[in-house]
A and B are shown apart, each in its own frame.
Chain A
């Protein structure tokens, strides 16, 4: 597990993508561009979120668990009623920003011709020859997505973790 996380976190997504898309066929595993993109992005996000979740759970003071056990809760109950909420609260911001990073990283899969936003740019560009305008527009449209998702994420955070539950 540790090795998987370190290997993925210390190599570029683009190279991971190439290995999946161009490399795996030599082992007889053939994926089309979209499938390869999905596999590579999943493996990539998996490694980063593993790390985030591990750090989140470790950040919880042991005393919280001990307090739960001291009250006679089982390990499972302690996890369910004490650890989970606090851990999710600690993990959420990092996970949300990792998601935004991943969204930006999807532009990379255009390199193998998967049909995402950036690939469309290349497509339009080949038809219009107005590279700069097209790329600027597409790049800025990511900004809209980023801002939108960040807003959504902080709204959810506020609703779930900040606003006091109704008394």
Chain B
């Protein structure tokens, strides 16, 4: 069936986009939760745990996401788990995201100036109160731009799930390109959709940044 790329086809791409968004959201939530654990394990004053976490972060950040996707896709069945492309992609991307979120958040926490701790202490706040009311609120504000920046990466990287056969925006474009023989239009349309999502996200981050009050 060879035909022109039409509005209906664009609708098909948009429909596939929800899987892109869903995968990104899943990786965001799963990776966010694991990332918190990573950040905590990285700052707790327990040496062996710190080393282990650093190893984990280097392993994930030092290997390609595509490789991680394949390892999960082909690896999990060896443990008797039957996984479809969605599960493998969601798992691999959550773990991938956790290493990056963990580092971003640890960095944000440690970039709150030491004198803010002292100011809290000199008012008689307990350690926990200082953490909860003085340090963490500032760390959260500091972390917003890099966190959103990484979420943009995450959205773009969901495209790799296409290569293990998960039908999201990129895989749908491949199918569409084969059907319509109009690859240029199809892939440009896909790029356009990614652009709208990612550029929108970056824009929101910039807006947020402007109205936040953070130590300089």
Contact flag (A, B; Cβ within 8 A): yes
Q: What is the interface of chain A, defined by CB distance below 8 A to chain B?
A: 6-7, 9-16, 18-19, 22-27, 100, 104-108, 110-111, 118, 121, 131-132, 135-136, 138-140, 142-143, 146-147, 150
From B64, B187, B202, contact of A107 by CB (8 A): B64
Complex Cα–Cα for A26 and B180 (A) = 12
- In the complex the two chains form, is A142's CB within 8 Å of B195's CB? no
- In the complex the two chains form, is B152's CB within 8 Å of A108's CB? no
Given contacts A11-B194, A12-B170, A23-B188, contact A131 B202 (CB under 8 A): no
Report the minimum CB–CB distance from B150 to chain A (whole Å): 12
Set of chain B residues within 8 Å of A108, measured between Cβ atoms? 64, 66, 160, 163
From A18, A132, A147, contact of B75 by CB (8 A): A132
Interface size, chain B (Cβ < 8 Å):
39
From B65, B188, B190, B199, contact of A10 by CB (8 A): B199
Complex Cα–Cα for A22 and B174 (A) = 10
- In the complex the two chains form, is A139's CB within 8 Å of B64's CB? yes
Contacts A12-B160, A104-B63, A139-B71 supplied; 5 other A-B pairs, CB < 8 Å: A10-B199, A12-B156, A13-B156, A15-B191, A139-B67
Task: Tell me the number of A-to-B contacts counted with CB atoms below 8 Å.
Answer: 119
Across the interface, name the chain B residue whose C-beta is closest to A24.
B184
- In the complex the two chains form, is B74's CB within 8 Å of A135's CB? yes
Interface centre among A9, A10, A140, A147, by most chain B C-beta atoms within 10 angstroms, is A10
- In the complex the two chains form, is A16's CB within 8 Å of B184's CB? no
Set of chain B residues within 8 Å of A18, measured between Cβ atoms? 170, 173-174, 177, 183, 187
Set of chain A residues within 8 Å of B190, measured between Cβ atoms? 15
From B74, B75, B182, B198, contact of A26 by CB (8 A): B182
Given contacts A132-B71, A135-B71, A135-B74, contact A15 B64 (CB under 8 A): no
Set of chain B residues within 8 Å of A19, measured between Cβ atoms? 184, 187-188, 191
| B70 within 8 Å of A (CB atoms) | yes
Complex Cα–Cα for A24 and B177 (A) = 13
Report the minimum CB–CB distance from B113 to chain A (whole Å): 19
Q: Which applies to chain A's interface (DSSP): helix, strand, loop or mixed?
A: helix
Complex Cα–Cα for A10 and B62 (A) = 23
The 7 A-B residue pairs whose C-beta atoms are closest, nearest first, are A139-B67, A23-B184, A146-B62, A10-B198, A131-B74, A12-B159, A107-B64
Report the minimum CB–CB distance from B103 to chain A (whole Å): 12
Set of chain A residues within 8 Å of B191, measured between Cβ atoms? 7, 11-12, 15-16, 19
Complex Cα–Cα for A110 and B175 (A) = 18
Report the minimum CB–CB distance from B40 to chain A (whole Å): 24
Report the minimum CB–CB distance from B20 to chain A (whole Å): 10
| B157 within 8 Å of A (CB atoms) | yes
Interface string of B125-165 (1 = CB under 8 A from A): 00000000000000000000000000010001111101100
Set of chain A residues within 8 Å of B70, measured between Cβ atoms? 121, 131, 135, 139
Set of chain B residues within 8 Å of A139, measured between Cβ atoms? 63-64, 67-68, 70-71
| B78 within 8 Å of A (CB atoms) | yes
From A23, A105, A121, A136, contact of B187 by CB (8 A): A23
Across the interface, name the chain A residue whose C-beta is closest to B184.
A23
Set of chain B residues within 8 Å of A25, measured between Cβ atoms? 183
